[in-house]
Amino acid sequence: LKLSACNVKWCAVLLHQLPTDVPRHLLTHTCGHVQSLQPVEMNAPVSVLLLACLACLACVSAVNKPHPTDKKVLVELFVMSRCPDAQRAEARFNEILQRVHNITHVQLHFIADNAGQTVTCKHGDIECAGNRQQLCVYDKSPGAENYQSFWQFIMCQNAAPAEVGQLPLAERCLGQLSKSLADQARACMTGYEGEGLLRADAAIAPQRSVTRSCTIFINGEKRCIHDGGRWYDCPGGYEVDDFVASICEAFWTKTGEWPAVCGQDKLRAHMNEVVARQIHH
């Protein structure tokens, strides 16, 4: 009998039977390795089986996220959890999401170095812990709770920026979530799953040629950067109203519908711009 790279049920059984002191270096393989994994013999060393399982489970989780519910606009922020620029950008997006969270699905990606056996972060291991905590809460939050659970956890942590990554702060913020979600996220943060998510996510920024925290994408298109205390490369502007307009227009482009939350006056202005562009071209 052979184990394919993504026999998830078998992996889950194996992982529950493993001792807790499995070496950390076995956790340093993620999604990118899954495609190259050949079927593994069931009598292979446990380290080989564990490697296949961890790579598979990290990949499955990454593939399943994000899953913006139905028509929502995907907003991605490339950040570092303890970066002041990232936290300022997230504060601005908190104002934006208060207005358009019902048409928006927000996801954070973390800028870190995953070239070695362990992921390293610019602001140290404590930042890697913060990244892992936020990834786990995102991963365990249902799409419908993206704003109510995941984003509120981010805002809770950012209220104490010097403590981001510390376990007591994570616990306080988990206390604002449902018990089921908090329990799942806690297990992820302190286990192998969180390490797999951290490494898998750290590979995304290089793939997207992102180096600055915070870099903002809306529906896959680079929209703006906030770095060094300033906003730049923001052709649509960087004020709250500007980002709200971009999200409303992205929703229109994606669905052909203008959401009520965006306002009829904004629809008329948008349509005038569309007509003007058509005439110009």
3 state SS for the chain: CEECCCCHHHHHHHHHHCCCCCCHHHHCCCHHHHCCCCCEECCCCHHHHHHHHHHHHHHHHHHHCCCCCCCCEEEEEEECCCCHHHHHHHHHHHHHHHHHHHHEEEEEEECCECCCCCCECCCCHHHHHHHHHHHHHHHHCCHHHHHHHHHHHHHHHHCCHHHCCCHHHHHHHHCCCCHHHHHHHHHHHCCHHHHHHHHHHHCHHHHCCCCCCCEEEECCEEEEEEECCEEECCCCCCCHHHHHHHHHHHHHHHHCCCCHHHCHHHHHHHHHHHHHHHHHC
Q: Residue 54 — very low, low, confident or very high, per pLDDT cuts 50/70/90? A: low
Rounded to two decimals, the pTM is 0.74
Q: What pLDDT does residue 117 have?
A: 78
Residue 255 and residue 20: Cα distance in Å, rounded? 48
Nearest to 198 by CA among 272, 143, 117: 117
| Dihedral in degrees, nearest 10, Cα atoms 169, 174, 175, 177 | 150
Highest mean pLDDT among 18-27, 58-67, 199-208: 199-208
Q: What pLDDT does residue 15 have?
A: 43
Q: 136: cis peptide before it, omega within 30°?
A: no
Residue 34 has pLDDT above 60, yes or no: no
Q: Dump pLDDT digits (tens) for 104-157.
A: 999 999 999 988 778 999 999 999 999 999 999 999 999 889 999 999 999 999
Q: Residue 75 — very low, low, confident or very high, per pLDDT cuts 50/70/90? A: very high
Locate 204 and state its tokens.
Answer: 């995304």
Residue with tokens 């602001």: 123
Lowest mean pLDDT among 27-31, 119-123, 154-158, 163-167: 27-31
Q: 217 pairs with which residues across the strands?
A: 76, 222
Highest mean pLDDT among 50-59, 159-168, 253-262, 266-275: 159-168
Residue 175 has pLDDT above 60, yes or no: yes
Nearest to 165 by CA among 197, 135, 209: 135
Q: What pLDDT does residue 130 have?
A: 97
Q: What's the farthest any 2 CA atoms get from each other in the chain?
A: 69
Average pLDDT over the chain, rounded to an integer: 80
Percent of the chain whose predicted confidence (pLDDT) is above 90: 62
Nearest to 102 by CA among 150, 145, 157, 158: 145
Q: 66: cis peptide before it, omega within 30°?
A: yes
Residue 21 has pLDDT above 80, yes or no: no
Q: What pLDDT does residue 22 have?
A: 39
Lowest mean pLDDT among 43-52, 57-66, 247-256, 267-276: 57-66
Average pLDDT estimate for 158-179: 97
